[in-house]
């Protein structure tokens, strides 16, 4: 049995199948960990969503910002953007069934030394604390207040965590840290405008994983979200978004021994 962690797929289904073939993935005995953003912008989001759902317990996927965005749009809060490729899902006969499955996915997942989360964790959170906070969001997503949460999820404020936060503001900070964050200040104030390479980051901001004293540094964070960062493998970080959507690579890392597997993104999946 092997566990393969895979970077952002974003509807690049052909590349996913090629990568699983290269890994010799066997759903009968192996497991997949997906870092989120399994849909949107790529050409085959519906097939990707159905495939991952149908893998059942062989696949664990956490929610990424594009997955939450799909839930938002499907719930009727239409914020459609240029380049979205969600129509096939929204028009599918099994759309509601797929949305019900998606909104029951975790925001982060922890096993042993590994923590799977789409974007990252704020520096003042241990993995155990983050897992407890994620559970607060997951309970609302799966519960009767789901639509109210969707109506209040969007936005970048508050930009920092406080134990005193309550209600939608509290849940919004948890979601933004785990699905949108790339950079923050040394004391954990998030910034969401910078999306490019580290060289373009403002001087007073740090990648979340380089903040001194980060409380999750004793665990291995398995993440995606930051395609401009590229594949980054460190003792306590596996950053796996290697830009398949943009014509680069889709990457898997076998967690058991950290062997890397990659396939080139097919030309039809590149977005520029």
Q: What is the pLDDT of residues 167-192, one digit of tens each?
A: 999 999 999 999 999 999 999 999 99
What is residue 86's DSSP assignment?
-
Residue 113: band (very low, low, confident or very high) from pLDDT cuts 50, 70, 90? very high
Do the beta carbons of residue 39 and residue 10 sit within 8 Å?
yes
Q: Express as a percent the part of the chain with pLDDT over 70.
A: 97
Do the beta carbons of residue 182 and residue 144 sit within 8 Å?
no
Maximum C-alpha span of the chain: 49
> What CATH number is attached to the domain comprising 42?
3.60.21.10
Give the pLDDT score at 272: 37
Out of 41-45, 202-206, 210-214, which region has the weakest mean confidence (pLDDT)?
202-206
CA atoms within 13 A on the CB side of 172: 19
Instruction: Report the predicted TM-score, pTM, of the whole model to 2 decimal places.
Output: 0.96
- Containing domain of residue 95, as a range? 3-269
Average pLDDT over residues 153-163: 96
CA distance 227 to 133: 26
Average pLDDT over residues 194-218: 90
CA atoms within 13 A on the CB side of 96: 2
Do the beta carbons of residue 207 and residue 183 sit within 8 Å?
yes
Average pLDDT over residues 75-99: 91
- Our CA angle for 213, 219, 224, nearest 5°, is 95
CB atoms within 10 A of CB 81: 10
Instruction: Assess whether pLDDT exceeds 70 at residue 270.
Output: no
The residue to which tokens 């949108």 are assigned: 180
Out of 119-123, 220-224, 244-248, which region has the weakest mean confidence (pLDDT)?
244-248
Q: At what angle do helices 127-141 and 167-179 cross, to 10 degrees?
A: 120
Give the pLDDT score at 66: 96
Give the pLDDT score at 269: 65
CB atoms within 10 A of CB 100: 12
Residue 80: band (very low, low, confident or very high) from pLDDT cuts 50, 70, 90? confident
Looking at every residue in the chain, the average pLDDT score rounds to 95
Give the pLDDT score at 267: 54
- Of the candidates 44, 42, 35, 142, the one whose C-alpha atom is nearest the C-alpha of residue 92 is 44
Average pLDDT over residues 206-222: 97
Give the pLDDT score at 184: 97
Out of 40-54, 99-113, 136-150, 193-207, which region has the weakest mean confidence (pLDDT)?
193-207
Give the total number of structural domains in the chain.
1
Which residues, including other chains, have CB under 8 Å from residue 86's CB and lie 6 or more apart?
Answer: 39, 40, 45, 70, 73, 80
Q: Express as a percent the part of the chain with pLDDT over 90.
A: 89
Give the pLDDT score at 197: 80
Q: How far is CA 35 from CA 15, 76, 199, in A?
A: 16, 26, 24
CA dihedral 153, 159, 164, 170 (to 10 degrees): 10
Give the pLDDT score at 199: 76
226-252 pLDDT, tens digit per residue, is 999 999 999 999 999 999 988 999 999
23-52 pLDDT, tens digit per residue, is 999 999 999 999 999 999 999 999 999 999
């Amino acid at each position: 049995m092997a566990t393969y962690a895979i970077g952002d797929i974003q509807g690049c289904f052909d590349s996913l199948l090629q990568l699983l073939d290269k890994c010799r993935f066997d759903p009968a005995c192996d497991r997949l960990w997906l870092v989120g953003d399994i849909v949107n912008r790529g050409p085959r989001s519906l097939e990707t969503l159905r495939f991952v759902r149908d893998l059942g317990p062989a696949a664990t996927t956490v929610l990424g910002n594009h997955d939450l965005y799909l839930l938002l749009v499907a719930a009727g809060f239409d914020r459609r953007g240029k380049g979205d490729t969600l129509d096939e899902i929204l028009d599918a006969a099994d759309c509601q069934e797929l949305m019900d499955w998606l909104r029951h996915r975790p925001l982060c997942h922890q096993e042993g030394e590994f923590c799977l989360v789409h974007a990252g964790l704020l520096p003042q959170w241990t993995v155990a604390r983050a897992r407890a906070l994620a559970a607060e969001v997951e309970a609302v997503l799966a519960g009767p207040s789901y639509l109210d949460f969707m109506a209040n999820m969007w936005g970048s404020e508050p930009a920092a965590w406080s134990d005193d936060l309550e209600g939608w503001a509290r849940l919004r900070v948890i979601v933004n840290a785990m699905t949108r964050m790339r950079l923050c200040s040394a004391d954990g104030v998030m910034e969401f405008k910078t999306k490019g390479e580290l060289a373009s980051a403002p001087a007073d901001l740090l990648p979340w994983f380089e903040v001194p004293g980060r409380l999750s540094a004793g665990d291995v964070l398995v993440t995606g979200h930051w395609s401009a960062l590229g594949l980054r493998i460190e003792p306590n970080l596996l950053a796996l978004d290697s830009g398949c959507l943009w014509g680069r690579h889709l990457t898997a890392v076998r967690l058991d021994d950290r062997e890397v597997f990659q396939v080139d993104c097919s030309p039809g999946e590149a977005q520029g």
